[in-house]
Amino acid sequence: MYDPLRDKNPGCNAPYPASYWAELGQDRASCPALQQNCTADVVVIGAGYTGLNAARVLAERFSQQVVVLEAHQPGWGCSGRNAGFVLKGTGRLGAVQLTERFGLETAQACYREYRQAFEQVATLCQQGAIDCQAQSPGYYKLAHQPRFLPLFEQQQQLLNQYFGEQLQYLSQAELQQAHLADQQACGALLDPDCFGLNPLQLALGYSRLAEQAGATIYGGSPVLGWQTLQGLHRLQTPEGSVTAKKVLIATNGYTPKDFHPLLNGRILPVQSSIIVTRPLTAAERNACGFRDQPIVMDTRALKYYYRLLPDGRLLFGGRGAIQGRDADKPRYQQALLAAMCRSFPALNGIGIDHQWSGWVAVSLDDMPHLYQAPKDSCYAGVSYAAGYCGSGLSFSALAGQRLAEQAMGQSIPNLPCYQRPLPAFPFAPWRRLGQWLYYQWGRWQDQRP
């Protein structure tokens, strides 16, 4: 498997991974490769949620000639591999942590931006006729140990009183009797608004909207060379090149090694792995307590997450291998299956029909960043958005819009994630060692009462 910390070449036009989403039999993108030398007003690198929405806004609102360069096809990376959780947030900082770090007023401003991103997903799907199989709402954050219950009560009080939410606190008995029979859960916070969808269909829908707005998307066109001369950026692909004054980098967790100085050493690519069962029987669903189709995540340092899919299958995910070369080793899928069965003993012995992995981008300060190089620097005209920490489905689309607005000289909200670049990891060549140490600590922490 491609490894962003080891590989400088992301590959070219590889097939979509054998995920549940890719094997549903729906249409897939087939964008042609760039086979000429051309010019554009703006080049966007990466055809995921961020890049596609940046391209759409640039073409639609600012009448820019936009070229999108994608190494494979739209939605091939994390945008088409994730679990499809539409949440009101991004990064790893919740409302409590944002308030502690930045103060209540700034935290509220961040949350308004997150809510706008959340609402924009539904708006774009409706206006663009994107059929992404959105399910009924209901997001459960599960406490895997009793020590998290006081924090849940604090979060509920803060969010309901100061952030306009209507979260419901559920005791273990209330959760298991009326919502979920997860045997590992000690209680939960229920957000009645968040929901699940088909992430690949969302990405393909965004791709269609970008093309309808006038953007040109080239698949099978990885950026293999980058030259800057007299304020112009010339990006070389296997069969062509494109020259532009402005370049937006939207590669996030799939950013190749040493791709650009603005991003080098500032992202930790982390694997997330997913398994999907066969369709559950009615008896199995009843034993698991599934009364609807919730999306669920726990409080572990090494989190598990799951959702019941429209066809009755159970999707279950968590952290995968540290290195790309180990992604397909059976022990990681077996570990997920064992964790799933600890939560739902009725599923012991169930078969797995789909399994896959993908890269998410973790930032040092647990939050995404949007950054534009200063006009007087040697990187003038280059911008990026990255570091969603595995929680970017909602926010990354709005980040693409903000990236486009900033590139066009418009002001964007004065928020921490828009004010400064991604912080560099100390001892960046040793990020994988640090990740391994964190995983050891996380396993100990997750077992602590």
pLDDT, one tens digit per residue, over 110-129 is 999 999 999 999 999 999 99
Q: How far apart are CA 383 and CA 10, in angstroms?
A: 20
* Percent of the chain's residues with pLDDT above 90: 97
Q: Say yes or no to pLDDT of 182 above 90.
A: yes
pLDDT, one tens digit per residue, over 302-357 is 999 999 999 999 999 999 999 999 999 999 999 999 999 999 999 999 999 999 99
Q: Say yes or no to pLDDT of 28 above 90.
A: no
In CATH, which of 1.10.20.140, 3.40.640.10, 3.40.50.720, 3.50.50.60 is domain 20-81+200-266+366-431? 3.50.50.60
- Tell me whether strands 139-142 and 268-277 are parallel, antiparallel or unpaired: unpaired
Query: How would residue 29 be classed by pLDDT, with cut points 50, 70 and 90?
Result: confident
Render 205-274 in DSSP notation, one character per residue.
HHHHHHHHHT-EEESS----EEEEETTEEEEEETTEEEEESEEEE--GGGPPTT--TTTTTS-EEEEEEE
pLDDT, one tens digit per residue, over 30-50 is 999 999 999 999 999 999 999
Cα 262–203–166 angle (5° rounding)?
Answer: 90
pLDDT, one tens digit per residue, over 73-121 is 999 999 999 999 999 999 999 999 999 999 999 999 999 999 999 999 9
Residue 449, pLDDT score: 83
- What mean pLDDT do residues 237-263 have? 98
Residue that has been written with the tokens 């930790």 in this structure: 268
To the nearest 10 degrees (0 to 180), the angle between helices 393-407 and 104-127 is 100
- What mean pLDDT do residues 249-257 have? 98
Q: How far apart are CA 400 and CA 405, in angstroms?
A: 9
Show me where the domains of the chain are located: 20-81+200-266+366-431
pTM exceeding the 0.95 threshold for the entire prediction: yes
Q: Say yes or no to pLDDT of 435 above 80.
A: yes
Q: Say if CB 172 and CB 181 are below 8 A apart.
A: no
- Cα-Cα-Cα-Cα torsion 104, 106, 110, 111, nearest 10 degrees, comes to 20
Q: How far apart are CA 277 and CA 290, in angstroms?
A: 15
Q: Say if CB 51 and CB 217 are below 8 A apart.
A: no
Query: How would residue 358 be classed by pLDDT, with cut points 50, 70 and 90?
Result: very high
CB atoms near residue 113 (< 10 Å): 20
Please give the distance of CA 260 from its chain centroid, rounded to a whole number: 21
Residue 172, pLDDT score: 97
Residue 25, pLDDT score: 66
Q: Say yes or no to pLDDT of 385 above 70.
A: yes
Structure tokens at 119: 């609402």
Judged by DSSP in three states, 359 sits in strand
Q: Which of 265, 32, 296 is nearest to 140 (CA)?
A: 296
Residue 26, pLDDT score: 66
Residue 260, pLDDT score: 98
Q: Say yes or no to pLDDT of 369 above 80.
A: yes
Q: How far apart are CA 128 and CA 18, in angstroms?
A: 27
* Helices assigned H by DSSP within 43-148: 49-62, 78-81, 95-102, 104-127
Q: Say if CB 4 and CB 253 are below 8 A apart.
A: yes
Q: How far apart are CA 171 and CA 186, in angstroms?
A: 7
Q: Say yes or no to pLDDT of 364 above 80.
A: yes
Q: Which of 8, 42, 45 is nearest to 249 (CA)?
A: 45
Helix (H) or strand (E) holding 156: helix 149-162
